[in-house]
Amino acid sequence: MASAEVADNVIDIDPTILELEQRAAALLGMPAALWTPSGTMANLIALSVHLQRGDRFLAPKGAHVLLNELGSAAWLAGGMPEPLPHDAGPGRPAPGTLSAAIGGAGAPYYALRTTLLCLENTHNWAGGAVTPPDEHAQLLSVARQAGLRVHLDGARIWHAACALGLPPAALTVGADTVSACFSKALGAPVGSVVAGSEDFVARARRMRQMLGGGVRQGGVLAAACLVALDRVNDLGAEHEKAKRLATGLAELGWEADTPETNIVLAGVPDVAVAVESLASWGVLAGPMAGKVRFVTHRDVSAQDIDEALRRIRGGNAK
C-alpha cells in the first residue's frame, strides 16, 4: 500500500485501481468492473442502476440486501423487496418457487412490476452456503425467461469458487452484474468491486460519485485489494479452520452446523448470553439467524481455533 502507484480515481486515471478493476472483471467473467469502498455500496449501486421506483425485486430470505443494508434498497434504490424461501437448500430458492413469485405474463397494469432477481453466493445468513453452478443456471433461466435482470451479491464469491474448485466466472454466468469483496477473510481492510457491462459501469460510476464513493489517490486502497486477489485460491485453509471449529464445538455439545465455507453457525439456548460470554473469554462472535456466528479469516490460525475451543470448554459457554 505504501508503494502503490497512484493518481486521481475520480477522473479514472489511478493506475492501481485500474489494474484491480481489470483483474477483477476478468476473474468474474464480466467486461468491466468498478472499485467501491464497500460491498454495501457495490450492491446499492447495482440495485440503483437496475431498479425504477416501485419495482419489486426478489432475493433469497436473509440476503444481505434485505437484512443488512438498512433498507437502502428501498430508501435509495426505490425497490420493493420480496424474500424467497430456501426450499432448494440453504441460501437457495427452488426455480419453481422463483417462477411462482414472479407470476405469469399478462398481468394487469395495476400489478406490481417485478424486474430484478438478486442472488447471493455464498449466502451469509445461511452460514456461508454455496450455490452450485447448475442451480445458478436454472434460476437464471427462469429469471431471464420472465425478462428480469439479475444481480449476484458475490461478496464471498471467491469462497464459493474455492469450495467448488471452480473459477469464479463459472458462478456468474448469465448475471447482469456481480459485486465482490476483498475484505472477506482475504485481509484487505477496505474494498469491493461491482462488475458488469461497459455501459453498466459507466452508469455505476456516476452513482458511486453521487454516493460519495469516488476517491482520489485510491490506489493505496486498491493495492491491498490486489494482495487479496492473489490469495483467493488459498481460502480452502479458512474453510478447514471453520470445520475444525465446528467439530470442536460439536464435541462440546453445541449444535454447530457443518460449514461449507468460512462461517460457522451454532445454535445455543440464549444467543445474546453466549455472545457476551464468548467476548468475555476473548472469543469474538456475533448473533445471526438466531444463532451464534463465527467467522474464520487469515489472521486467525488453527492454533487460535484450538485456543478458542479451550476457552469455551473452560468457561462452559452453554
Ligand X SMILES: Cc1ncc(COP(=O)(O)O)c(C=O)c1O
Residues lying near ligand X in the complex (CB under 6 A) are found at 38-40, 43, 64, 120, 124, 153, 155, 181, 183, 192
Q: Residue 168 corresponds to which cell in the numbers above?
A: 469464479
Alpha helices in 79-218 (DSSP H): 95-102, 133-145, 157-164, 198-210
221 phi, psi to nearest 5 deg: -80, -40
**Is the peptide bond prior to 261 cis by the omega test (within 30 degrees of 0)?**
no
Give CA–CA dist 15/40, Å, rounded. 24
Nearer to ligand X, 275 or 317 (CB): 275
Nearer to ligand X, 8 or 82 (CB): 82
Q: Could you tell me which residues come within 8 angstroms of residue 137 by beta carbon, excluding any fewer than 6 positions away?
A: 173, 174
Least distance from C-beta 252 to ligand X, angstroms? Answer: 27
Least distance from C-beta 63 to ligand X, angstroms? Answer: 7
Least distance from C-beta 66 to ligand X, angstroms? Answer: 10
Nearer to ligand X, 38 or 138 (CB): 38
Nearer to ligand X, 38 or 141 (CB): 38
Secondary structure of residue 136 in the 3-state scheme: helix
Least distance from C-beta 182 to ligand X, angstroms? Answer: 9
- The sign of the torsion formed by the CA atoms of 199, 202, 205, 209 equals negative
Least distance from C-beta 104 to ligand X, angstroms? Answer: 31
Distances (CA, A) of 22 to 33, 131, 201, 218, 223: 7, 25, 12, 15, 13
Start-to-end CA distance of the chain, whole Å, equals 43
Least distance from C-beta 244 to ligand X, angstroms? Answer: 22
Nearer to ligand X, 148 or 288 (CB): 288
Q: Could you tell me which residues come within 8 angstroms of residue 246 by beta carbon, excluding any fewer than 6 positions away?
A: 256, 257, 258, 259, 264, 266
Cβ neighbours of 297 (radius 10 Å):
15
Nearer to ligand X, 218 or 248 (CB): 218
Least distance from C-beta 45 to ligand X, angstroms? Answer: 12
Q: Are 213 and 41 in contact (CB under 8 A)?
A: yes
Q: Are 213 and 9 in contact (CB under 8 A)?
A: no
Nearer to ligand X, 124 or 261 (CB): 124
